[in-house]
Amino acid sequence: MAFTSDIEIARAAKKRPIGEIGAKLGIGADDLVPYGHDKAKIGQPFIDSLADRPNGKLILVTAVNPTPAGEGKTTTTVGLGDGLSAIGKKAAICIREASLGPCFGMKGGAAGGGYAQVVPMEDMNLHFTGDFHAITSAHNLLSAMIDNHIYWGNELGIDTRRVTWRRVMDMNDRALRQITTSLGGVANGFPREAGFDITVASEVMACLCLASSLADLQDRLGAIIVAYTRDRTPVYARDIKADGAMTVLLKDAMQPNLVQTLENNPAFVHGGPFANIAHGCNSVIATTTALKLADYVVTEAGFGADLGAEKFMNIKCRKAGLAPDCVVLVATVRAMKMNGGVKKADLGAENVDAVQAGCANLGRHLENLRGFGVPVVVAINHFAGDTEAEIAAVQDFIAGQGAEAILCKHWANGSDGTRDLAAKVVATIEAGGADFAPLYPDEMGLADKIDTICRRIYRADGAQMDSKIRAQLKQWEDQGHGHLPVCMAKTQYSFSTDPEARGAPTGFTIPVREVRLSAGAGFVVAICGEIMTMPGLPRVPSAEAIGLNDAGDIEGLF
């Protein structure tokens, strides 16, 4: 059988008009705002009209620590959504939007893979419905208004050395990481150090993804700290009077996007905050809207369960008043092997011992997730080279933990490959075991929250914070930010801060290098390692090979 690429499968998709997809969820044509024939936003008045409806069941798809072998978290999210539909359930999936910039560095990311994809894939990797462009505009309007305020007399007394609000661009452009602005004399302002991040790293993105309404969005935008005065008093976006205009720029972007899977099931694709300095989940408004329209909503969170699921539970669910009914923890035989010490080049050979050793990683995630009071089903995302003995090793391990690991073949077979998983998830939810609680209460001190995550989730011997960082956290508590949850920024490859320490490492501490207050988004970021907020392009960027062919199709993007 000839290999069929993701893009070939996506292009061969028999898409239905987006109105039909909306109709599956009971959304009328007038309540959809079309963007082309295969994308739409869901109109705000319709969303507002849903408030009194009951919620469907919420399923989080998360995964073991990512390895270069690939885990297929989004693929499994799509596959499970299709599987639920295939067994007769009214289901929808909620995933994040892709960032445009990185597609021109490495090859663009599909939304899912194989026969478990969301389409239109090309649009979703390019401008889509313009949400990220709107976020870029809103962010940079605030930046321009800050420098303009300084230019016209600086009434607020901003210390130009302490402007914390940078600019953003949805592009991999390392030259913009650190710049000096306002050069060239009197007419251009006051020279100062500045820089650009990539748009997904914008706090505006995090605000949009956590906001429950446009009014809430404006409140969050207004609460963003943009600078400090010489006496360290924070200056907020609302002091700059930018929050109203930013909200206007985000009015359309706030409405969730509806597209479809290859099997013509509804997919909400909305928001895409960084999974390190932000919480890495799709928008609250998309998830809450989907829960009003479908009986089962499948969503995902960035990176492995130590980062993604932890933030989903402690930030998104806490803030939005959501409680997941079931967690699907994705593992692959290949990832277990790598966690068990096998190198990527040696993944082709059967190695049951390594699989068994690597299951320590899976087991720890399982235990962590259960700690949130939510039942867990393990999904083994099947790869063609997996042997029966290897698969059995994972299943045996999970059975030993009192859970079940379901083999899934959605990449090859679409919903036919996830019917078992879907049935197991439904049975688990119907058994009603969920009793969700976040890991720590709002009232816990900020340093303790960080320490709790490090000990309870990463299994570290604690967080390492010097006195300066502790003093900063204390100051924020004194300023009224102590109730905020914590957003950890740490390598996704390990429970520890050493990306090479796969499996289930112990005997380490987590050094916190820096803390940042995202007062608009509503969390404190604890940075534990190098965080790159503006990527660069590789020596040969994929952009060089991207173009339109004679048929008008895009070449080289995937």
Least Cβ distance, residue 544 to a second copy (angstroms): 4
The Cα–Cα gap between 422 and 76 comes to 11
If one asks whether residue 546 binds a second copy (CB under 8 A), the answer comes out as yes
**The one catalytic residue among 89, 96, 167, 409:** 96
Q: In this complex, which beta carbon is closest to a second copy, that of residue 51 or of residue 175?
A: 175
**The one catalytic residue among 132, 411, 523, 558:** 411
Strand partners, 405: 378
Least Cβ distance, residue 65 to a second copy (angstroms): 26
If one asks whether residue 160 binds a second copy (CB under 8 A), the answer comes out as no
Tell me if 226 sits within 8 A of 195, measured CB to CB: no
If one asks whether residue 230 binds a second copy (CB under 8 A), the answer comes out as no
- Stated as kind and residue range, the H or E segment containing 269 is strand 266-269
Q: Which of 23, 87, 156, 248 binds a second copy (CB under 8 A)?
A: 248
Q: In this complex, which beta carbon is closest to a second copy, that of residue 167 or of residue 319?
A: 167
The Cα–Cα gap between 356 and 444 comes to 38
**Residue 421: both structure tokens together:** 């998983």
If one asks whether residue 162 binds a second copy (CB under 8 A), the answer comes out as no
Least Cβ distance, residue 246 to a second copy (angstroms): 9
Residue numbers 101-140 binding a second copy by CB under 8 A: 104, 126-127, 130, 133-134, 136-137, 140
**Residue appearing with tokens 């997809």:** 21
**Residue 472: both structure tokens together:** 């900063």
Interface segment toward a second copy; rule CB under 8 A; list 143-151, 296-304, 366-374, 457-465: 143-151
Question: Is the bond preceding 324 in cis, omega lying within 30 degrees of 0?
Answer: no
Burial 329-361 (b: 16+ CB within 10 A, else e): bbbbbbbbbbbbebeeeebeeebbebbbbbbbb
How many residues sit in the footprint of a second copy (CB under 8 A)? Answer: 74
- Strands 326-331 and 116-119 come out as unpaired
The Cα–Cα gap between 116 and 119 comes to 10
Q: Is 46 a catalytic residue?
A: no
If one asks whether residue 476 binds a second copy (CB under 8 A), the answer comes out as no
Least Cβ distance, residue 102 to a second copy (angstroms): 11
Q: Is 275 a catalytic residue?
A: yes
- For helices 73-86 and 419-431, the axis angle rounded to 10 degrees is 80
Judged by DSSP in three states, 386 sits in coil
Q: Is 165 a catalytic residue?
A: no
**The one catalytic residue among 62, 75, 76, 288:** 75
Interface segment toward a second copy; rule CB under 8 A; list 88-96, 285-293, 467-475, 539-547: 539-547
If one asks whether residue 145 binds a second copy (CB under 8 A), the answer comes out as yes
| Class of residue 193 by CB neighbours under 10 A (exposed 0-12, middle 13-18, buried 19+) | exposed
**The one catalytic residue among 24, 57, 73, 424:** 73
Q: In this complex, which beta carbon is closest to a second copy, that of residue 18 or of residue 484?
A: 18
Contacts (Cβ under 8 Å, ≥6 apart) of 388: none
Residue numbers 200-229 binding a second copy by CB under 8 A: 214, 218
The conformation of residue 29, written as its DSSP 8-state character, comes to G
Q: Which of 26, 151, 470, 509 binds a second copy (CB under 8 A)?
A: 151
Tell me if 165 sits within 8 A of 192, measured CB to CB: no
**The one catalytic residue among 11, 16, 107, 370:** 107
The Cα–Cα gap between 469 and 473 comes to 6
If one asks whether residue 402 binds a second copy (CB under 8 A), the answer comes out as no
Least Cβ distance, residue 374 to a second copy (angstroms): 36
Contacts (Cβ under 8 Å, ≥6 apart) of 312: 60, 62, 279, 281, 301, 324
Least Cβ distance, residue 215 to a second copy (angstroms): 8
**The one catalytic residue among 13, 201, 253, 275:** 275
Contacts (Cβ under 8 Å, ≥6 apart) of 483: 442, 443
**The one catalytic residue among 104, 274, 303, 508:** 303
Among 120, 115, 79, 114, which Cα is nearest to 97's? Answer: 120
Least Cβ distance, residue 135 to a second copy (angstroms): 11
Binding-site residues for ATP? 67-74
The Cα–Cα gap between 541 and 537 comes to 6
If one asks whether residue 545 binds a second copy (CB under 8 A), the answer comes out as yes
x-or-dash pattern for a second copy, window 22-61, by CB under 8 A? --------x--xxxxx------x-----------------
If one asks whether residue 493 binds a second copy (CB under 8 A), the answer comes out as no
Binding-site residues? 67-74
The Cα–Cα gap between 411 and 117 comes to 9
Q: Is 476 a catalytic residue?
A: no
Least Cβ distance, residue 134 to a second copy (angstroms): 6
Among 43, 49, 413, 93, which Cα is nearest to 259's? Answer: 93
Tell me if 30 sits within 8 A of 297, measured CB to CB: no
Among 190, 123, 183, 140, which Cα is nearest to 160's? Answer: 190
Q: Is 411 a catalytic residue?
A: yes
If one asks whether residue 251 binds a second copy (CB under 8 A), the answer comes out as yes
If one asks whether residue 536 binds a second copy (CB under 8 A), the answer comes out as yes
Residue numbers 288-327 binding a second copy by CB under 8 A: none
Q: Is 247 a catalytic residue?
A: no
Residue numbers 168-197 binding a second copy by CB under 8 A: 169-184, 187-189, 193-194
Q: Which of 241, 344, 468, 483 binds a second copy (CB under 8 A)?
A: 241
Catalytic residues: 73, 75, 96, 107, 275, 303, 383, 411
